[in-house]
Amino acid sequence: MTETRHITHWIGGKPFDGDAARRGDVYEPANGRVAGHVDFASAAEVDAAVAAAKAAFPGWRDTSLSKRTSVLFRFRELAAAHRDELAALISAEHGKVLSDAAGEVARGLEVVEFACGIPHLLKGGFSENVSTRVDAYSILQPLGVVAGITPFNFPAMVPMWMFPVAIACGNTFVLKPSEKDPSASVRIAELWAEAGLPDGVFNVVHGDKAAVDGLLHHPDVKAVSFVGSTPIARYIYGTAAANGKRVQALGGAKNHMLVLPDADLDLAADAAVSAGFGSAGERCMAISVAVAVDPVGDELMAKIRERVAKLKIGPGDHPESEMGPLVTKAHRDKVASYLDSAVAQGATLAIDGRETPVLGGAGDGFWLGPTVLDHVTPEMDAYKDEIFGPVLAVVRAGSYEEAMELISANPYGNGTAIFTNDGGAARRFQNEVEVGMVGINVPIPVPMAYYSFGGWKDSLFGDSHAHGMEGVHFYTRTKAVTARWLDPSHGGVNLGFPTNG
């Protein structure tokens, strides 16, 4: 019998050496086997991690920008060199195929590369002679100890949206990753140490709500970043803000893809399948609703059906697998429950993922193949809820205006896309749609690292999006300085208030 792994916290530059009162199981979704056990942090472990970060802060804050940048460059090189190893850890615990996991690490590294430019990004402003022999300038300074609370679906990329920028700006960081796939975060901590990051600047605590609440209420945590479902994002935002913290809380999504009659339907069908079923639909930027403006609905459906029939479902490390299992049995069962409820509410089950064959046999894995619900309407649960699985809902619309109203009326506003060959229609869409990230003939419009990631409405709580310049501003605060250096011929002390002149 294969020995199970033990995953513990990373505090003060080394693995935690204490005993855990509680632990959680870590599964291999492809076979349902318990592959490891992860320690759950109590208040004491959270306090220890925050204390380590607080102790490390003064030294890291005063470390030169050149030195910080050299550590970031070294971390980037190490993480890139170990990309396959990180991908294997992610694939084993999350279930996504290896190529998808490797792509996740690559996208995360783009934020590290952005953060390597921090000397330029932290430049303040300067105004000479604002009053007689008086200069004024602004500087950007770090906040102190900051925390990140991240989801299971991207155990490397989403933390990398946060900690590279936070650390580059001079903060120290406590990460609370998902307890479902915790190993990648610990390996990242080891790579930081190898890169020369001082002990305590980057810490990892594992656990559940007890660990989260410990960070949200801790007086020494100055800011909290979160990515997850909307109900939890709302809770994170309210609780952290009530405790005087700066908060960015990114919530759920119901991303629509609008297909106009003039669109290239082969391109649109490819996009619907890849964006709907990649990573088993477990991503906040997945396309979960395709809105077809008639008369193209039937033709689009036929092309989607052709492509889904060719997809190969199997374990993440199988060389032919294009989509893996879902992360847990409970989640798989919840996603599958929407199939029967949608049919009961009037939808057509065009493709039933429960019947999809699995490479090597399904065994006890958490499998659900690509599923398509056609003729979905807005009052159905499969439309209203964030399913977070490989279920694509197809909605028929009679016009651009009808489709536009549908998309903008949705309470979520994370991402959307339009497929068309009409530049005017695309320009009108990007101007009018009530959504934060827009793709034009691009199904998953995740911005590059030098722009910022985040949606509108119930997809974001707080004012700041992740990474890019909004990330730099989130992890810093501005200090304005007014300075007078008297000329040797000033003629004596002047205690008067400075005036213009």
Active site residues per annotation: 284
Residues with Cβ within 8 Å of 385's Cβ and at least 6 positions away in sequence, in order, are: 338
Taking CA atoms, 217 is separated from 17, 206, 240, 278, 310, in Å, by: 25, 17, 7, 36, 50
Widest CA span in the chain: 91
Is there a cis peptide before residue 295, judged by omega within 30 degrees of 0?
yes
Chain length of the chain: 501
Is residue 360 classed exposed, middle or buried when 0-12, 13-18 and 19+ CB atoms within 10 A define those classes? middle
Q: What angle do CA 77, 81, 83 make, to 5 degrees?
A: 115
Structure tokens at 7: 């995953």
Identity of the amino acid at 232? I
Measured from the Cβ of residue 271, the count of other Cβ atoms closer than 10 Å reads 23
* CA-based torsion, 10, 12, 16, 21: positive or negative: negative
Q: With beta carbons less than 8 A apart as the criterion, state whether 49 and 205 touch.
A: yes
In sequence order, what E strands does 158-267 have? 172-176, 202-204, 221-227, 246-250, 255-259
Rounded-to-integer distance, Cα 413 and Cα 231, Å: 15
Rounded-to-integer distance, Cα 458 and Cα 252, Å: 7
Rounded-to-integer distance, Cα 436 and Cα 111, Å: 19
CB-facing half-sphere around the CA of 153: CA atoms within 13 A: 17
| Strand 145-149 to 221-227 pairing | parallel
* CA-based torsion, 380, 386, 389, 390: positive or negative: positive
DSSP state, residue 13 = T
Rounded-to-integer distance, Cα 141 and Cα 144, Å: 9
